[in-house]
Amino acid sequence: MNSNRKLMTLDEFTIHQTRQFSNATGELSTLLRDISLACKMINKQVNKAGLGDVLGTHGATNVQGEEQMKLDVYSDQMLINVLRNSSECAGIASEENDDFVAFEDEYSMNSKYVVMFDPLDGSSNIDVNASIGTIFCIYKRVSPLGTPCVEADFLQPGSAMKAAGYVIYGSSTMLVYATKLGVNGFTLEPSIGEFCLSHPGMKVKENGKIYSINQGNTNKLNDKLKSYLNYCMDEEFSHRYIGSMVADLHRTLIKGGIFMYPADLKNKNGKLRLIYECNPMTYIVEKAGGLGTTGNENILDIKPQELHQRVPIFIGSKSMVEKAVEMIN
């Protein structure tokens, strides 16, 4: 038996990266390990979703008036519990909670970081066994150490982000993680329960041939957006739309393309949330060489006004996003 294995686990990878910087403390790596642990627990429930009492609605609506699924609530609680016990997290804000949660024990109050997340993205796909995900991002708090974190810690522009990632519960489970050093993808090896490096140095193609939008909303779009969609059809781009942002953007990262959720007559600011969805996904895509914009400004430049703020988004291959922006303005 040969033990010269080639697999590199997420932990080994982050330790390796940390060693390259003499002043790195490893705190971000610890936080990432904690988040990945919560996601492995979520993955376990997702995988057996048809068997236990996992599918279906929870019977309540969240702060945004959306019906919560059982898995939305489970995933939210799992992330909160794990991060509350983490030595590196001062508090969290989640798509499923009205307000942010400050962890007020002594360890947490002395932690540097806050985490924002969409615990379960693509809820409408849970019951049909299609890909869903978890999205997260990490910021350094602006409030003083030793005190509970405050709302301002969560309302920082995306440009202040330290790291972001997502987990896709798909045909395999993958964690994609971005820092200023770049974007790397790790596939869960179920037999050892570890995420292992499978997609090092991910880059999004400069150009692509896939457009992704809920085209059923076309009648609610303005004329410029309609003509952009006509342009996509004239170019004979393929249309792909899963309805889970994580899955649509994972495809975009791997194959190139553009993903859009623009403003329309019903969703005046688009549908997707700045803090939990648009910011982390834009950070990841930009670190991979792509672009994310509202059509008027770069997503990461927006100073959030409130936790559950929504913004229009055009994101993906740089040339495709630039072309869209040119046509809709």
If one asks whether residue 121 binds ligand AHG (CB under 6 A), the answer comes out as: yes
x-marked contacts with ligand AHG along 101-120 as a string, rule CB under 6 A: -----------------x--
CB closer to ligand AHG, 178 vs 245: 245
If one asks whether residue 121 binds Mn ion (CB under 5 A), the answer comes out as: yes
Query: What are the structure tokens assigned to 219, written together?
Result: 């009648």
Residue list 88-117, contact with Mn ion (CB under 5 A): 95
Q: How far is the CB of 250 from ligand AHG (least distance, A)?
A: 12
**What number of CA atoms fall less than 13 Å from residue 4's CA on the CB side?**
1
Q: How far is the CB of 241 from ligand AHG (least distance, A)?
A: 7
CB closer to Mn ion, 121 vs 194: 121
The partner residues of 197 in beta bridges, in order of sequence, read 186
CB closer to Mn ion, 28 vs 126: 126
Confirm if 168 and 177 have CB atoms less than 8 A apart: no
Closest CA to 58 of 43, 77, 80, 44: 77
Please choose which of ligand AHG, Mn ion, none residue 244 contacts, taking the beta carbon within 5 to 8 angstroms, the exact cut-off set by kind: ligand AHG
If one asks whether residue 118 binds Mn ion (CB under 5 A), the answer comes out as: yes
Residue recorded with tokens 């559950």: 308
With b for 16 or more beta-carbon neighbours within 10 A and e for fewer, the 3-37 pattern comes to eeeeebbbeebbeebeeeeeeeeebbbbbbbbbbb
Query: What are the structure tokens assigned to 320, written together?
Result: 């495709």
Q: How far is the CB of 313 from ligand AHG (least distance, A)?
A: 9
Residues that bind ligand AHG (CB under 6 A): 66, 95, 118, 121-124, 214, 243-245, 271
